[in-house]
Structure formats: C-alpha cells, structure tokens
Structure 1
Amino acid sequence: MTAMTGAEALLTQIRANGVDTIFGLPGGQLDYFFDAMFNAGDKLRVFCTRHEQGAAYMAFGYARSTGKPGVYTVVPGPGVLNSTAALCSAYATNAPVLCLTGQIPSEGIGKGIGYLHELPDQLATMRTLTKWADRAMTPEAAPELVNEAFRQMLGGRQRPVSLEMPMDIMAQSRDVAALPAAIVPAAPLLDDDSINAAAKMLAGAKRPLIIAGGGAIAAGADVERLARFLQAPVVAFRSGRGIVSDRSHLSQMFPAGNDLWKAADVIVGLGSRMEQQYLYWGIGPDMKVIRIDIDDAEFDRVKSPDVRIHADAAEAVPALIAALERIATPAASREEELMGVKARVRGEIQATVQPQFDYLDAIRRALPDDGLFVDEITQCGYASWYTLPVYAPRTLINCGYQGTLGYGYATALGVQAAHPDKAVVNIAGDGGFMFTANEMATAAQYNLPLVTVLFNNNKFQNVQRQQKEWFGGRLIASDLTNPDFVKFAESFGIRGERVHSPADLERAVKAALERRAPALIEVPTPDMASPWPFIIRPPVFEQGR
C-alpha cells in the first residue's frame, strides 16, 4: 500500500500496463493528473495538443501503427465530445485506444447543477461509443478499473475504451495497492473439427482466394505461408494491406480481387468483415466460404459461412496449415498467371486514375520500404487503398469505414510520435487538412518530422462531383476559400513549398524526409479522375445465398 492521489493511482496503473506515451490537453478537471504526469519525469512522454480531437487522433495513429494501446486524456463535457470522432474511427478499425477523462465534482454527478463541463450522463454517452466505459469513484478503485480497461481493450476483438474520474477524487490521497499489469483474456480455443473441415475443403479447391483484413495482422508470415501452399491470391482493401507484401505475386490489388472472384471456388476470410464481397460482389451458387474471426458475432451479420473458425488468426492459420500439410501437397505455382493479373490491373489504373496514380507512385518511390503512409479522405486517399504498393502490415494507416474527413494530419502526428526514427508521409486534401491544421503547432513544438503532401484544388471534389452527376450541377457548399498553405505552414515555423509535377514531388518528399523536420508540400491540382470505378465494382453474382 502506498499513499497516492487518485490521479497518481490512475497513472501508476496505466504505466504498469506498459504505457510510456500519453497525448492530451490540460484543463481544470485534469490538473492533478497532469501534475502526476509531470512527476513521472522522463519515464513518460507527454504530447500536449492544440485541440481534443488532435489528442484523440494522435492516440489513434499511435495504436494503429504499433498495435499497442494509444492513450489520451481530455477534460469532460465538450473536451471528451470533441474527441469522439477519433473514438468512432478506433471502433471501426479495432484500434486499442484508451480515453481517460476527468469529471465534475463527484457530489454533483447526475444532479444537473450546471458545473463546468457537465454532461447529462457522460458515462452513458461513452458506453455507446466504446467497447467498455466506467468511472473510478475512489483512488483505491483505480488500479483494478485501469486493468479492466486494458483487459477489455486488448481482449478478443480490440476496440476503444473509456475511463473517467471526478476531479475531487483525483485530488484525494489514500493508501492504494498498485497491481501487476492486466492479464489479457486468452483467445477462444481452437476447434479441431472446424480446422479439419476447412483443411478438407481447401485440399479440394481448384481456385482458392484469401480475403485478408485487419484481424489477420497478427498472423504475420503465416498468411503468406498459407497462400503459398494453396497458391491462393490474397486480396485486402484497407487494413489488411501489407500482410503479404505487394512485391509477391500472391498479393493482389483490390480491383484484381473482383476479377479473381469470378472463378474462385473456396474463399478464406481472415479477420475481415468481407462486407465488400458479401454486399457488392455477391456469393456464387457453388462458392464455399471459410471464415476465421475472433468475434463470434461477425459470422452471421450478412451471410453465414460454410465453415466458421472462432479464433485468433495468429493461432488458427498455423493450425490450418498443419492440417493441410497432413492431407494435401502444395499447389503448382500460379506466379506467371498472377503477375499477369497484377500488371494488367495496374496498367488499367495507371491509364485512368490520374493524376492520383502518378503522384502516389512518386511518393512510394520517395518513401523507404519500412516508411509509413497515412491517407486522408481525399481523391488520392481513396486511390491509395488499391494503388499504393504496401510492403509490410501497419504501414498504410486509414480510418476504415468511418471515413472521418480531416482525421489524417493529427493521426499522422501520432504515427510519427510512435515511430520517431521512421519516415512518415501523410497526404491531405485542402478540405480535410483544415480540420486539424492547427496541430502544425504540435508538430513544430515537438519537432515531429512528419512530411505532409497537400493536394489543393480549392474544393470538396467528391461532394462537387456528386452535385454535378446527381443534381444537375447545382453546386452548393463545395467550393472552398483557402489560405496560402505555404505561408500558413511557415507561420508555425514549418518549412513549406509548392510543387507542380510528380517528379518534383518525389524530389521534395525525399529532401524533406532527409531533413528530419516537419514539412508541408502543397501540390495544386485540377480536378482528379474518379477513383470509385475501381472500388465500387459491378456485382460478379447478382444473387447471394
């Protein structure tokens, strides 16, 4: 037992769970927690942001790029509400993010007195946005509640959680027993019958196809081992990119997956919602589906698979390989065929999705193989989901199905904070960038060497395209008035420059990465080609099961 304030008890237990970085914004209900972080000294890195959404997005970027918990702290009420778009993104992408928030004085909770930053029921609100949320009402309760937060966040299907403590409880000093780190619940036990049924089905497959999602990242090299044994192409849309390197013939771009779907007879879904396949491509009448997922609720959301394996892909994939090796021999190589598919589809994209293809190609050439790329909800961002070659998992960062416009810049700062020695490039559009452009102050303050490429056509082009195509060209609220972005960056002490071609962009990105300082590179562009024909593909089968 050690005498601690409530704030110290929270921080002590958070650090016991391996956290060494916290993003946040101070305020009255967090005074004692920030003092506790000060007293932790160099054992803790604290990044103070300029807006609560910036703090949350940075924690999100930290978690997405490392697989480790990203932690942020904000005041209650408007502070925590400002951060909730990032929580939605974390929920959509299964990112382990901990929101730690203060609260009004404990005696006032639920009484509607009108304390500063009071919400009618903050805890109930947070429970609708996270996997788990709770409140610590005594310093002594903090260690076990922190551990429960980590168990919930990291166990099973990972998702964000929230923990709050009233400001007066943070100030109270009590004898508190700190605990060892939380023990994360074990993954579901493998069912041998399901593994063997899947192996038997795959042993008889002639054209197997693997759909890989973010839930397969932990399976690492085993996914490629399975793909090589079967000579099964691996298709990923966003979160699964890089699980199999795009240098392999087995890794196929998303539009190519739509073509390969036509002849596929057995599908293996690895940690993927498979929403694109179920909702848009269709399930063929003779197609068999095997799904491996840690979330049992996922199997029957749209259509039930033929074989379900409720397990962590990191355990299930090696077991499936072992079962296959007992009853089958490796398939003949399809390298020539699949390299041909890859080249053909890439050529089609290059010919039509311009100038995005050439600009993304320039960035890829400038970015080291282990560099990290953070997209944005913009024309180049959409195209990057299927165009940008990705060589390792967790090196293409996106916000998943939430499509949270403006998330990219602050998220990329969190990625850079998590990987201080790696190259990180973020792309942005002129619309979305302005959502968190104030965080250039954070980049400058902490010298985060993020390189941002800002494509500027002075409009929300996706919105304007739809207004032209769907509403007879009745344009409203889609043209933008922007600052001089180069001067804007320079006002924060960040180097800004403007380039006008892919070749110049490649040179500028390389030079900026070598300088190891924050940089903004503006690329004025005309309207870009629609990236959507390569994402929204025509149905392969009109009727699912």
Structure 2
Amino acid sequence: MKIIKSISGGEAIIASVIENNADTIFGIPGAQIYPLFDGIFKSKVNLITPRHEQTAAYMAMGYAKSTGKTGVFSVVPGPGILNTTAALCTAMGNCTPLVALTGQVPTSFVGKGRGHLHELTDQSGTLRTLIKEAISIDNPQNTSRQVNEAFRLAQSGRPGPVSVEMCWDTMADVSDFTIDEPVYPSELDESIDLDSINDAVKMLVSAKKPMIMCGSGALDAAEEVLALAQLFNAPVSAFRSGRGIVSEDSPLGVPPVAARELWGDVDVLIGIGTRLEMPYMRWGNYMNYESAPSSGPKLIRIDIDPKQMDIFKPDVAVVADAKKACRLLFNKLSNKVKPNAFRLDEISTAKHLAWKAIQKMQPQMSYLSVIRDVLPRDGFYIPELSQMGFTTWAGGLPVLAPRTFIDAGFQGTLGYGFPTALGVKVANPDKAVLSVCGDGGFMFSAQELITASEHNIGLITLVFNNQGYGNVMRDQKMGYGGRLSGSELTTPDFVKLAESCHVRAHRVFTPQQLKPVLEMCINKNQPALIEIVGERGEEVSPWEFINMTSSLKDKERVDQIW
C-alpha cells in the first residue's frame, strides 16, 4: 500500500492504472479529463494521441488482443465516450480486456438533466448495455480500489471492456490518496466441477475421430490444446480468433475448409473457448437459431462463461479456464487413449483438397500467397471486412501462431482494421504488423495516417482499392437485380494522401509487384502504405467456402450429377 499526498483525483486514477502494470494509454484530452492527462504527463506512461476517439479505443483493443494485457484508453464523457462504442462492442464480442477512463459532469449536476457540457441522461447505464461494467467513482478515497476492480473485471472470466468515470470537480480536487496494490485472482481459486470433467473423459475414451475447435478463450492455452489433440491425433481448427493456437502448417492444425471436409466423420467435438459459430451457424442454417445441436457429433464445451452453456447447450458442459480444463483432461486421458495413426493421412488429404479448392478465389489468393511468404511467422495480420478479409476466413492465409490474426469477431465491424492494427504495432514495435484493408473500410479512419507518422508507428497498411464496397456490390448484383445503391465509391489518391501525412507510400497492380515492395517495407519498419489497384467486382466470392452447408466432396458429387 502506498500513500501519495496532495494529488488530484485524475492523478490518483493514473497512479492506480500504473499499479495495474499499464504502460500505454491511448487518448484525446478534453475539459473534464484535464487532471487525468496532467497525471499522464507527470508519469512515465506512454501516451498515444490519435485524431478520433474511436481510434483510441480500437488501438487499445489491438494492443490488448495482441498481448493478452489490458488495453487502456481515455476520452471525454458524452459524445467522446459514445464515439468509442463501436470499438467497445467489438471488444465485448471478441473478448478483449479494456479499461476506458472518462469524466462526468460536476457532482452537483449529476442526474439533474440541466444540460451541462457533454451530459448524458445516464452515462454508466448506457455503457452497461454494451460492456461488462461501468464504474462511477463517487468517493475519491475509493479511487484506487475501484480502478483495481475495473482491471480485475476486464481480465476475469470472459474478458471484456470496463469503464471508469469520475466527476469533473472530483477529478480536479487535490487530496491525500491511498494507492492500493491490486489483487489478481489466482487460477488456483477457480474450482472445476470434476463430474463434468469425468463425463467428458467417458465420452472421449470411446471417441474414434474427435475434433477440437478453438476460440479466443483458448488463446493462452496453446500448449495444453496441442497436448490434448496429440493424444488422439485430433484435428484442431478455428474460424477467426482461435486461428494459430495450433499452427496451420503443422500436422494437426486445420484451416476452416479442411475442417469442413473432416466434419462428416467427427463423432465428438470439443469446443474450447468458442461460440462454435463455424460448425453450427456457418455450416448450418445461419438464419435459424438453435439452442442446442440438432445434428452432428456429440459436443463437449469448455468455456469460462457459464452463460454460454445456456445460449448453446452441449452434451457435456465444462465451465472452466481453458488451460486448466485441458490439463485435467490430458492427465485423465493420457493412459486411456492412443493416437489414431490413420487420422494424420486423413487430415493431410483434407488440407490438400481444401487448399487446392480455394485457389479459385482470385486475385485474393495470389496476394495472400505473397503476404504469407514475406510475413514472418510471428508477424501480425489484421484483416478488414473486405474481399481479402473474407478470403482469410476461408483459410486463404495460413495462421502460424496464436494472437497473430486479429479479427473483429461476430460484430463484423467495418473500419476496425487500420486503427486496431496501429495498436497492435504500438504493443509489438519490433515485429511485422500488416493492416490489410479495402478502400471503403480504410476510409473510416484514414486520418490516422498522421498518428502513425507522429508517433513513428511502423505499421504497414495495404489498401486494396476497387472503388467500392465490394461485398455489398456483389450482393446487390446477385440479389437485387444489379441495382447498385450506395456501393460504388470515389476514392482519393491514396499515395498522395499518405505522403501528405508524411507516410512512405507505394502503388502496385499485381502480386508480383507487391512482393519486393512489401519486403522492403518490413525491413525498414517505418510507417508505410501500399495501394493495390484492382477492378471493381473482379474478386471471386469467398462465401461458398465460408457458409459451407456441404463438404467439397459432396458438392463435387452434386455438380457431377447436374
């Protein structure tokens, strides 16, 4: 416990944030939070100031998602914190721990509806509809305890965002503050229902061809997941956030389309820290909610969030941390099962068939081949809601390590990619980080090129310019008689735009031209933009490989009949 005398409420918040091992804050100052930013100035915390509040939150999300640490950002209340809500709901959806620091109207105005600067009717109540918790520090002497609680909540259970607010006058008032050491929950404190573990063991002992699917809840359990998979030679797959937990160039790492090829023979599925969107929504009826599997293999779910077991009911529900549950299962199964030697050949065949099939997604696959060839194994790839991004969902980019493929998750947040990637690079300055955008999504935050330049954030941004919202355009052509409504875009000169922000820029037209330019940019490790020019509508749709209601073999048989 530390006692710090004569500091403001804002300084006390920052002192408490530092006690929780935060080293970077992304934020934009304003009237109600001046004392907080004064506390940042007096500390050794790294401050990154973007040009839009939504970017502050996205950058914190990228920082957190790529490291596993809690990301911190600060913006003014009212319209400031509301500007961050797209990032907050994205972080809630993809289980990213964030702490948002904001202000509030002066104490005497709270709840009065007088119309004070940035006043909302119920700021905390509004935020609680989107995030894990919204904390109001009413008593300044509780500052340290409540900031510690925010960090604990952000990381505990299913991770997610938590906000902390303090009134304008309270944040400015100088007082004596006690800064408490944070108490982190121990893994040993988490009890697991051993009956559920034993039920899972019984099911797996008799399994012939089990499969494992991972989500973000398994990101810190890569070693344990692989050990469990090796007991059976079970394929390990994921849709988005869980990609790379088992490397997709290893014998058991299986990208999505290959997993679909193996799906018909699977008798037990182990879902670890995942909502299982891929097999039960993407491979089923995406428009029809089911509370439990209506067909397919027996299902074991391992998830730290007990609510998940009610949302989608498995045959065996193990409510637990992924690392601990996988370790228990391994220990109980290691002398009871043995690897299926034939499974390795089946997995290899499925991967080969899938890779061959998805080559039709051009020109995306040719560009992704160049990117995978140049990007180091520990390099980061942040997609966008674009044709290139959707192609990666189908496995077009093999993911080789956990946390290196950072997706928006089920929110499907257009425009998240570039600002999130900036945060990834801040957290990983010595590693290669690629933001791969379409021209539409990139323009949501193109102004942040100047942020990259100002703070020397060595992010490499690839902008695929097809002058349109490509996915919308294709849907309107296919389903709405070709009536293009709002999907065609006029784009700026991206090279000149980047150069005006002091960012090195290049323009290429082919995958062959991209390779040497991308290699050079990675080696320089400086802010860079590469515009890839294409034709409107030239991309082959990836959706047949994402919403796969049948396997490639079944589809081939149907095609032959017709």
User: TM-score w.r.t. structure 1 length?
Assistant: 0.96
Task: Look up the match of 1:204.
Answer: 206
The alpha carbon displacement at 1:257 in A equals: 1.5
Task: Look up the match of 1:368.
Answer: 376
The question of 1:436 aligning with 2:476 is answered no
Query: Among residues 294, 301, 312, which one is paired with 1:291 in the alignment?
Result: 301
Structure 1 residues without counterparts, runs of 5 or longer:
541-545
Distance in 2 separating the partners of 1:285 and 1:367? 40
Task: Look up the match of 1:144.
Answer: 145
Aligned residues of 1:249 and 1:342 also touching (Cα < 8 A): no
The question of 1:279 aligning with 2:288 is answered no
Q: Which amino acid aligns with 2:396?
A: T
Superposition map of 1:443-522 within 5 A: 443-522=452-531
Superposition map of 1:276-425 within 5 A: 276-281=278-283, 283=293, 285=295, 287-302=297-312, 304-332=313-341, 334-350=343-359, 352-385=360-393, 386-425=395-434
The question of 1:80 aligning with 2:81 is answered yes
Find the residue that maps to 1:397 and give its secondary structure: coil
Find the residue that maps to 2:444 and give its secondary structure: helix
The question of 1:537 aligning with 2:548 is answered yes
Distance in 2 separating the partners of 1:80 and 1:284? 42
Find the residue that maps to 2:219 and give its secondary structure: helix
The alpha carbon displacement at 1:328 in A equals: 2.4
Distance in 1 separating the partners of 2:183 and 2:83? 29
Aligned residues of 1:72 and 1:98 also touching (Cα < 8 A): yes
Q: Which amino acid aligns with 2:270?
A: V
Query: Among residues 188, 191, 194, which one is paired with 1:189 in the alignment?
Result: 191
Aligned residues of 1:139 and 1:172 also touching (Cα < 8 A): no
Distance in 2 separating the partners of 1:36 and 1:211? 44
Query: Among residues 217, 225, 228, which one is paired with 2:227 in the alignment?
Result: 225
- Counting matched residue pairs gives 536
Distance in 2 separating the partners of 1:454 and 1:225? 39
Structure 1 residues 252 and 157: CA distance shift in structure 2, 3 A: same
Find the residue that maps to 1:432 and give its secondary structure: helix
The alpha carbon displacement at 1:268 in A equals: 0.6
Aligned residues of 1:366 and 1:507 also touching (Cα < 8 A): no
Aligned residues of 2:137 and 2:146 also touching (Cα < 8 A): yes
Distance in 1 separating the partners of 2:349 and 2:294? 24
Task: Look up the match of 1:543.
Answer: none
Task: Look up the match of 1:22.
Answer: 25
Distance in 1 separating the partners of 2:283 and 2:480? 27
Distance in 1 separating the partners of 2:167 and 2:14? 15
The alpha carbon displacement at 1:284 in A equals: 6.7
Distance in 1 separating the partners of 2:190 and 2:396? 36
Find the residue that maps to 1:227 and give its secondary structure: helix
Task: Look up the match of 2:557.
Answer: none
The alpha carbon displacement at 1:173 in A equals: 1.2
Structure 2 residues without counterparts, runs of 5 or longer:
285-292, 552-562
Find the residue that maps to 1:9 and give its secondary structure: helix
Distance in 1 separating the partners of 2:364 and 2:128? 40
Distance in 1 separating the partners of 2:186 and 2:427? 26
Distance in 2 separating the partners of 1:192 and 1:323? 11
Q: Cα deviations across residues 495-525 of structure 1 (Å, max 9, x unaligned)?
A: 1110111121121111011111100000011
Distance in 2 separating the partners of 1:125 and 1:182? 28
The alpha carbon displacement at 1:337 in A equals: 2.3
Find the residue that maps to 1:421 and give its secondary structure: coil
Aligned residues of 1:244 and 1:392 also touching (Cα < 8 A): yes
Distance in 1 separating the partners of 2:131 and 2:295? 38
The alpha carbon displacement at 1:429 in A equals: 0.5
How many percent identity over aligned positions? 47
Aligned residues of 2:65 and 2:96 also touching (Cα < 8 A): yes
Aligned residues of 2:271 and 2:302 also touching (Cα < 8 A): yes
Aligned residues of 1:151 and 1:185 also touching (Cα < 8 A): no
Distance in 1 separating the partners of 2:351 and 2:495? 38
Task: Look up the match of 1:12.
Answer: 15
Structure 1 range deviating more: 184-193 or 484-493: 184-193
Structure 1 residues 286 and 97: CA distance shift in structure 2, 3 A: closer
Distance in 2 separating the partners of 1:412 and 1:126? 25
The question of 1:241 aligning with 2:251 is answered no
Distance in 2 separating the partners of 1:435 and 1:426? 14
C-alpha root-mean-square deviation of aligned residues, in Å? 1.4
Aligned residues of 2:77 and 2:119 also touching (Cα < 8 A): yes
Structure 1 range deviating more: 180-189 or 321-330: 180-189
Find the residue that maps to 1:514 and give its secondary structure: helix
Superposition map of 1:87-236 within 5 A: 87-184=88-185, 186=187, 188-236=190-238
Find the residue that maps to 1:148 and give its secondary structure: helix
Q: Which amino acid aligns with 2:123?
A: Q
Aligned residues of 1:96 and 1:154 also touching (Cα < 8 A): yes
Find the residue that maps to 2:517 and give its secondary structure: helix
The alpha carbon displacement at 1:153 in A equals: 0.8
Task: Look up the match of 2:559.
Answer: none
Q: Cα deviations across residues 451-472 of structure 1 (Å, max 9, x unaligned)?
A: 0110001001111111111111
Distance in 2 separating the partners of 1:72 and 1:182? 22
Distance in 1 separating the partners of 2:45 and 2:521? 29
Aligned residues of 1:9 and 1:140 also touching (Cα < 8 A): no
